[in-house]
Structures are given as C-alpha cells and as structure tokens.
Structure 1
Amino acid sequence: MAQTAGDVAYFQRGSLFWFTVITVSFGYYTWAVFWPESIPYQSLGPLGSFTQYLADHHQTLLRNGYWLAWLVHAGESLYAMVLCKSKGITSPQARLLWFLQTFLFGVASLSILIAYRPKRQKRT
C-alpha cells in the first residue's frame, strides 16, 4: 500500500534484511526455550556453547525472557496504534498492517512509523 491523499492509508513494509534477522533470531530463541534437547550445540560454535550453557543452567531466565520479549512486542504494537492516530493514519487496513508488522518485528517496524512525518495540509 502506498501513500494516498492525506496519508490516511500510509504503510511501509520494513527492511527484508532486518525481518530475516529477527525471524531467524526469534526462531532460534523459540527452539532454545521449547526444544533445547534437539539443538546441535557442537555444530554452532560459540553460539551453541552459550546456548547450551543457558539451557542447562538458566532455563527459567530463558523462558521468562521469551515471554517478556513477546510482551514488549505487544506493547510496541499498541504504541504503533497510538502513533497511527497521532499521524493521521485512519485506514483500518493500514492500521492493521502496522499493528501486525510491529507485533511480529518490533522496533524494526516501529522505527519506520516513528520516522514518518505526514505532510501538513493547508487549511483554506
């Protein structure tokens, strides 16, 4: 979706690079939290050693951090709705896209919305 008159439907997809990094990282984190016994630690070098240490000694911290990360993403997506309203983005479809993109990718999406400066319309 592109900008339209008045920017009421403004939406911009985030960077594919950052979305890939976030998806792989969060996927690995999910794997470490829920299926740590299936991770091939020795094949992952220092990352594997560190993950195995955390899984073996700090499972509660891993789990709590996982759910905290989702909670932060939920908060970011709610803040995106506040930003949409303050920036004049009123299209339900655009707002839904901002909400979902920010929920899934956090600050990689939210930073785009924060940086967005709608054009001021002249009052006649």
Structure 2
Amino acid sequence: MAKSDSSSYFRRSSLFWVVTVAVSLGFFTWTVLWPQGVPYSSLGPLGALAEYLVDHHYPVLYYGWYLTWVIHTLEALFALKVCSDKGIDSSSTRLLWFVQTFFFGFASLGLLLQYKPDGRSKRQ
C-alpha cells in the first residue's frame, strides 16, 4: 500500500494467476473464434479434448465463451462496489481494480475481498 490510508489500496494478482488465466482465456478464445487455426495434434491430450469439443459441442463452447466474459464483467462491477464498501475512493485505484478483475476474475477479486481496512467498523 503506497499510502497509509485505504483510499489507494491496490495489489496485483500473483504472476501464477495472471499467466494461468491469460493463457486459458487466450486458448479458449482461439478455439472459439479461430478453431481452424488451432494445432490440435501438437497439444497432446488438451488438443484432442479441444478438437472433440469444437467438432461435437461447438455451441456450448461459443455460448460458454460469452458467459465467461459476462461473469468477468459482473465480477469487475462487483469489485467497484467492494471498493466503495472498503473506503477505496481514489478513482485511479478503483479503475485498476475494475480492469484487473475484468481480465483475471476471482484471482483479483479475492485479493480485494481479503482486504481489511484499518480503523473502519464492519458496518457503517
């Protein structure tokens, strides 16, 4: 935390979660939007599973991809509410939480939910 007050509290998600979520969502996007370009045979069991899902259950993948982004959007909006509830008032800090939660979901939101601001009562 850069300041002593909670108005600018921000923590980055761990590198593990950033890489895991980015690679997973990137692969998911690739298989949904450009399935003909995925080198399934080079990806071992993951490639075989992805090819099977694309060939036999593409609508589930397609709607699941949109649902994933709807969920991430709702998580990001919830992060803004949590920021307000925890006294994080800096607009730039709230924007950082929103963007990070939008892209990395619960890996970011979990950090915000764990934050306990000092000197604030639980109910105000």
Question: What code does the residue aligned with 2:50 have?
Answer: T
Deviations 1:32-89 (A, max 9, x none): 0011111111111110110000000111110100000000000000100110001000
Question: What code does the residue aligned with 1:37 have?
Answer: Q
Residue 10 of structure 2 aligns to a residue whose secondary structure is: coil
Deviations 1:66-119 (A, max 9, x none): 000000000000100110001000000100000000001000000000000000
State the alpha-carbon separation in 2 of the partners of residues 68 and 121 from structure 1. Answer: 36
**Aligned residues, how many?**
121
Q: 1:13 to 1:85 in 2, by over 3 A?
A: same
The corresponding residue for 1:69 is 68
TM-score normalised by length of structure 2: 0.94
**Cα distance, 1:6 vs. partner?**
2.2
RMSD, matched Cα = 1.3
TM-score normalised by length of structure 1: 0.94
In the TM superposition, structure 1's runs of 4+ consecutive aligned residues that sit over 3 Å from their partners are none
